[in-house]
Structure 1
Amino acid sequence: MIHHPGLSEPRTKEEWRAYLDAKPPLRPTMPPLDDYLAMSEGERETFNDERHRYHSALVILKTPPMQRIHRQIKRKLLLNANPPPGARPGLVIDGPPTVGKSTLVKTFAAEFEHGLRRRHPERFVRKPGDDYVPVAYVSVPAGCTPKMLSSAHAKYMCLELPRSATSEAITTRVLEAIRRCGTELIIIDDVHFLDVSVKDGKLTNDHLKNLANFAAATFVYTGVEVEDSGLFLEGGHSERATQTGGRFTLFQLDRFSIKTETDAREWALVIKGMEDALALFRHKTGMLAAQHWEYLHDRTNGSIASLSILIREAALEAVESGTERITKKMMDEIVLPRASEQSYRAKRKRKRHSSSGKGQDDLGCAAG
């Protein structure tokens, strides 16, 4: 049997465990450049294949915004460890696409469960029947209904359900499984797929509140433009706004900015973190962060996802081309996702107009 080399989004507890157990490719030990050049063609191809696998994954950086929100999630878990019965406080992480919301919550959840494995290995001994499932990760499907959401939870917990099972019956089974399996952290990703303007969306929104009421776990939601989606209005009824708005803390995760010196320094540190991880012979680490931090912000619009794509793809090209370094010219030739490319074109146009105007003003001042 041939196994797919990559990891997909976990849909079940078994896939989540596979995600936790997966080891990223290690950085190859870099020989002296002369030794590399002296390799046979076959040896060089094998070594470069290792570098390609490594650069394909590269690193997941713990950026300052990620660290700040991780601290908040940990604090909520500690707060919810032994409270009286009832709904526990939760978190909503809102932000535009490609800022790393899903990566942020999965990284925290993975570290949380790995910590439990170290401290309480006895809990993870596999036994017949229900096992220990401290983390549940569910992604909201498009056009989600209460039954679809409960079914996604049931699929994650690997529950066998009769085809005729109602939404209420599935939810009851899910809540029982959460209790029996000791689930402490429940992540519900892509909550923006709940369309609260339609009946099913309102019902699903209320269904989320019902889960939070009866599951003794900390809930973390992520989504795009969640604050304006109606999630905090429980299906659009303003008189019930406090039911979720009163329990869930909202955190905004935005694209990186370079408007202030602090912002620019954080952005440059992210770039340098990726540079430090590269396995290239001639690339001077820190060069991109020092010389091209503003260009990289323009190219990616401050998106951590686009930055990762750009640097990883440039690293692959640096190996393939034999240049062994990342240059601005090389990055210019890489086509990023459409949103980043559109933003970059717009910024270049604005800068051309701005520099054109400045030149005329400077000439006038000098003449005066």
Structure 2
Amino acid sequence: MSTFRHPGLAEPRNKEEWRRYRDSRAPEQPAMPPYKEYLKLSDDDKDDLNEDRDNYHSALAIIDTFQVKRLHYLMERRMKANARRAAGARAGLVFDGPPTVGKSTLVKLFAARYERRLRRKHPERFQDGYESNGMVIDYTPVVYLSIPARATPKDLSVLLADYLGMVQRGRDTQTDITNHVLSVLSDVGTELVIIDDVHFLDMSAKEGRVVNDHLKYIANETAATFVYTGVDLEKSGLFLEGQAASRATQTSGRNTRYPVRKFGCKTAQEKLEWAETVKALEDTLVLYRHRPGQLVKLCSYFYDRTDGSICALTDLFRESAIEAVTSGEEAITRKLMDRIEISEYAQATYRKVVQQRRQKAAAGSKVAAS
């Protein structure tokens, strides 16, 4: 199972921040002296090494799970299908699923890898002074936009303009900005546009439907593949228009919806995929008393703690590894993890699991006693 690492960064709001994300790399794995030598280090040297380990564990690995590989393949296939398509709206993709399943991470990861591949194949496009169609352009193959709550059509165009670094005039109308954005997207060679957090569009309100229409217009007029992510989009107005629930929108007619799910833990295949993910994370640990494979044995516990959420799982690994270094325990154990609290949703789910098991055990005891 391959991994890809990058340091934690804020959500990109413009092309410069996107490029920092694209080019970011996680800290190198610290060199670990033998444990006896580690204990003899001065306080300062030991503190420096522990800080390096904390930074390394904080970055953690992004795991190429089966789901990530599948969805990346579908994104690449769709982009290839759109590459030389005739003028007009391209077919896009919609990734829909509950929170904390890694939707935003998987699309950003694909986009970063895609752009780095372009840089390898066409380094000249990324040089200062690159000319295309007789113009010097700042080649921008990827646009990433996170939708804010209560966005208006003009807000959306302004966000795109800001991302592209366009100079705007105070008297520009929504149409002026949108037309300029469309021209720049074409000029700078944009091939992939990611619209994240589409669920923030309130489709029950007139403003939300207007923004949805504006999104469709931009997608129709852009020679790029659009990818949308959000929560519970199948039931939202993103795929419906007008008052009739059966009336499909252009969004549903031109885009393919793919569900992004939490890990399961019922079938043999689901358990295998979960165990592989736990092992891939375990293999990144730099702890003196960690024994390879000891955490794979706790797969059921990890599932109970996280409810199959990849975000909750990585949070639990990060904090547990840092706790193991800080406390001097140098290994992640169930006892240590019981001290770690992650998201409220994960904690509440775990409490429910524990309570159900206690009730089941109590019921079993009563049956045995009778």
TM over 0.5: yes
Conserved? CA contact 1:310–1:336, under 8 Å? yes
Q: Paired residue for 2:118?
A: 116
The whole-number CA distance in structure 2 between the counterparts of 1:86 and 1:317 is: 54
Deviation of the 1:82 alpha carbon: 0.1
Give 5+ residue unaligned stretches, structure 1. none
The whole-number CA distance in structure 2 between the counterparts of 1:159 and 1:185 is: 18
1:264 and 2:271 equivalent? yes
Q: Paired residue for 2:4?
A: none
Conserved? CA contact 1:230–1:236, under 8 Å? no
Q: Paired residue for 2:35?
A: 33
1:157 and 2:159 equivalent? no
Q: Paired residue for 1:303?
A: 309
Deviation of the 1:127 alpha carbon: 2.2
Conserved? CA contact 1:138–1:187, under 8 Å? yes
Give TM-score scaled by structure 2 length: 0.94
Conserved? CA contact 1:146–1:207, under 8 Å? yes
Deviation of the 1:358 alpha carbon: 2.8
- Paired residue for 2:146, among 123, 139, 143? 139
Amino acid at match of 2:355: K
1:167 and 2:181 equivalent? no
Deviation of the 1:356 alpha carbon: 2.0
Conserved? CA contact 1:206–1:235, under 8 Å? no
Q: Paired residue for 1:289?
A: 296
Q: Paired residue for 1:203?
A: 210
1:275 and 2:282 equivalent? yes
Range moving further from structure 2, 197-206 or 120-129: 120-129
1:345 and 2:347 equivalent? no
The whole-number CA distance in structure 1 between the counterparts of 2:222 and 2:168 is: 20
Deviation of the 1:185 alpha carbon: 0.4
Q: Paired residue for 1:357?
A: 363
Write out aligned runs for 1:26-105 (5 A): 26-105=28-107
Kindly report structure 1 stretches of 4+ aligned residues shifted beyond 3 Å. 234-240, 359-364
Amino acid at match of 2:53: R
Q: Paired residue for 2:239?
A: 232
Q: Paired residue for 2:127?
A: 125
Deviation of the 1:167 alpha carbon: 1.6
The whole-number CA distance in structure 2 between the counterparts of 1:235 and 1:259 is: 41
Write out aligned runs for 1:177-256 (5 A): 177-234=184-241, 238=245, 241-256=248-263
Conserved? CA contact 1:314–1:326, under 8 Å? yes
Range moving further from structure 2, 325-334 or 27-36: 27-36
Write out aligned runs for 1:315-334 (5 A): 315-334=321-340
Deviation of the 1:203 alpha carbon: 0.5
Range moving further from structure 2, 240-249 or 179-188: 240-249
The whole-number CA distance in structure 2 between the counterparts of 1:9 and 1:172 is: 26
The whole-number CA distance in structure 1 between the counterparts of 2:243 and 2:291 is: 54
Cα displacement string for residues 249-308 of structure 1 (whole angstroms, at most 9, x for unaligned residues): 111111111011111111111111110000111111221112x11111111111111111
Amino acid at match of 1:100: G
The 1:68/1:289 distance shift into structure 2, 3 A limit, reads: same
Cα displacement string for residues 204-224 of structure 1 (whole angstroms, at most 9, x for unaligned residues): 111111111110000000001
SS in 2 for 1:246: helix
Give 5+ residue unaligned stretches, structure 2. 1-6, 131-135
Amino acid at match of 2:195: I
Q: Paired residue for 1:20?
A: 22
Give TM-score scaled by structure 1 length: 0.94
Cα displacement string for residues 142-191 of structure 1 (whole angstroms, at most 9, x for unaligned residues): 01111111111111101111122222211111111110000000000000
Cα RMSD, aligned residues only: 1.5
Amino acid at match of 1:211: I
Aligned residues: 359
SS in 2 for 1:136: strand
Conserved? CA contact 1:137–1:186, under 8 Å? yes
Deviation of the 1:22 alpha carbon: 1.7
Deviation of the 1:60 alpha carbon: 0.8
The 1:234/1:116 distance shift into structure 2, 3 A limit, reads: farther
Q: Paired residue for 2:3?
A: none
Q: Paired residue for 2:13?
A: 11
